[in-house]
A and B are shown apart, each in its own frame.
Chain A
Amino acid sequence: DAKTTQPPSMDCAEGRAANLPCNHSTISGNEYVYWYRQIHSQGPQYIIHGLKNNETNEMASLIITEDRKSSTLILPHATLRDTAVYYCIVRVAEETSGSRLTFGEGTQLTVNP
């Protein structure tokens, strides 16, 4: 799986958009970008994933650059409950051995009141 690079920490004001960047310059054509988050002491939680098109769900939006070497997770209206570590993971979605995830260090997002 391709390696990802994320800033170690970011701050965001409550109610504002949080934009979390991720670099994955060695991504392969069949690899997806996944985002998970981990709220303190809990297990990670799936947020969103995409291949090359921008994606949106009830939690967030994912913007992938045209060359697919980087992406941005957008939380449109951050709340205090969005304070968490956010992990950007690149992997092949259709592995026959299941969806093993390789976690990096992630970005600690702190949403301030």
Chain B
Amino acid sequence: DAGITQSPRHKVTETGTPVTLRCHQTENHRYMYWYRQDPGHGLRLIHYSYGVKDTDKGEVSDGYSVSRSKTEDFLLTLESATSSQTSVYFCAITTPGQNNEQFFGPGTRLTVL
């Protein structure tokens, strides 16, 4: 599992409240990613990071912000959650080397009422 954990694993919140999801990795990987997945659809990239304090937007970044103050943690924040942000959120890291494959965390199921 490349040492990736996500917290919380499940969360129910109300519209308008701030929410922060945490992705933690133990193997010092440089690249980290946040995706969201809605029912019946593939994953869509929200934001990604290519180093401490280095982040960039993905295809669905509106309403989300990220921070990476240390290598092991990549935080995703919904400043004011909306019902359209109800989704499953996956964190991923890239392993260096020939395959350049991504390893994904177990996911966080977020429900915004």
B16: Cβ under 8 A from any A Cβ = no
**Chain A: interface secondary structure?**
loop
Which residue of the partner chain, among A43, A98, A105, contacts B31 with CB atoms under 8 Å? Answer: A98
B74: Cβ under 8 A from any A Cβ = no
B42 touches A46 (CB 8 A): no
Measured CB to CB, the nearest residue on chain B to A104 is: B42
Expressed in whole angstroms, the Cα–Cα distance for A44 and B42 within the complex equals 10
Please give, as numbers and ranges, the residues of chain A lying within 8 Å of B43 by CB-CB distance.
44, 101, 103
B101: Cβ under 8 A from any A Cβ = yes
Say which size band chain B's interface belongs to. Answer: 20 to 34
Per the 8 Å Cβ criterion, residues 32-47 of A in contact with B are 34, 36, 41-46
Please give, as numbers and ranges, the residues of chain B lying within 8 Å of A44 by CB-CB distance.
43, 90, 102, 104
Number of interface residues, chain A, beta carbon within 8 A: 22
A43 touches B50 (CB 8 A): no
A102: Cβ under 8 A from any B Cβ = yes
Expressed in whole angstroms, the Cα–Cα distance for A108 and B87 within the complex equals 20
Measured CB to CB, the nearest residue on chain B to A101 is: B102
Per the 8 Å Cβ criterion, residues 26-67 of B in contact with A are 30-31, 33, 35, 40-45, 48, 50, 56, 58-59
Expressed in whole angstroms, the Cα–Cα distance for A99 and B58 within the complex equals 12
Binary contact readout A72-84 vs B (1 if CB under 8 angstroms, 0 otherwise) = 0000000000000
Which residue of the partner chain, among B33, B35, B107, contacts A98 with CB atoms under 8 Å? Answer: B33
B99 touches A46 (CB 8 A): yes
Please give, as numbers and ranges, the residues of chain A lying within 8 Å of B41 by CB-CB distance.
105
A49 touches B33 (CB 8 A): no
Chain B residues in the interface with A (C-beta under 8 A)? 30-31, 33, 35, 40-45, 48, 50, 56, 58-59, 88, 90, 92, 94, 99-107
Chain A residues in the interface with B (C-beta under 8 A)? 34, 36, 41-46, 49, 87, 93-94, 97-106
